[in-house]
Amino acid sequence: MSILAVLEQRSGQWNRMSFETLAAAQQLAKELGTTASAAVLGHGVEALASELESKQLEKIYAVEHDLLKDYTPDAYCAALGQFIDQFHPAVLLFPHTYQVRDFLPKLATSRKRVAVSDVIAHRVENGQVILVRQLFQGKVNADVRFGGEFPHFASLQAGAYRADRMTEGSAAVEVVHPSISPAQIRTAPQELFRE
């Protein structure tokens, strides 16, 4: 069971929640006795991905394509769908950002899976991952278990994991070039939303 942290960047700048997601992926991998990797999508992101070479990861994937320069849900889903088919990660973790909220349901549905959103914690019981998310505006915590075959998808709430708990190590960057055509992109990038 491999863990993949899908990190978010915009115009070559990391979203701060990406490092929280990376720390969570490392923690979960350690508890499951498996490996964690990271992926970043965009155009010209190899240098950005190389900033993670000092982290304890099995691999860092720079998913590169001209059509990933500006975010569109169609391009991101096409690229990640091909990535999943090629590398078979078991659990994909995402920061719970506006961008992820836009494309993650589409990606999960395309794989006939559900995405567990806004996770605040996790634990491992008998080798099974249990995610904790809040309901009713934080009044109730619910335990959620993944069902069905891999891959499984989850987005992590801001501040749920601490970026300063990332583990140091070394990893190599692998550049991945998905096959995306302009005909697959049904939406045009709009003005950036400021969180």
H or E element in which residue 19 lies: helix 17-32
- How far does the chain reach from its first CA to its final CA, in angstroms? 33
Instruction: At 34, list the tokens.
Output: 């498996």
Q: Which residue has the tokens 């278990």?
A: 145
Interatomic CA distance for residues 19 and 34, integer angstroms:
19
Q: Which residues contact 25 (CB under 8 A, 6 or more apart)?
A: 3, 4, 5, 36, 37, 38, 93
Instruction: At 54, list the tokens.
Output: 């000092």
So what's the pLDDT on residue 194?
67
- DSSP H helices in 33-180: 46-50, 73-87, 98-110
Interatomic CA distance for residues 170 and 106, integer angstroms:
33
So what's the pLDDT on residue 195?
59
Along the 195 residues of the chain, how does pLDDT read in single tens digits?
799 999 999 989 999 999 999 999 999 999 999 999 999 999 999 999 999 999 999 999 999 999 999 999 999 999 999 999 999 999 999 999 999 999 999 999 999 999 999 999 999 999 899 999 999 988 999 999 999 999 999 999 999 999 999 999 999 999 999 999 999 998 877 776 665
So what's the pLDDT on residue 162?
96
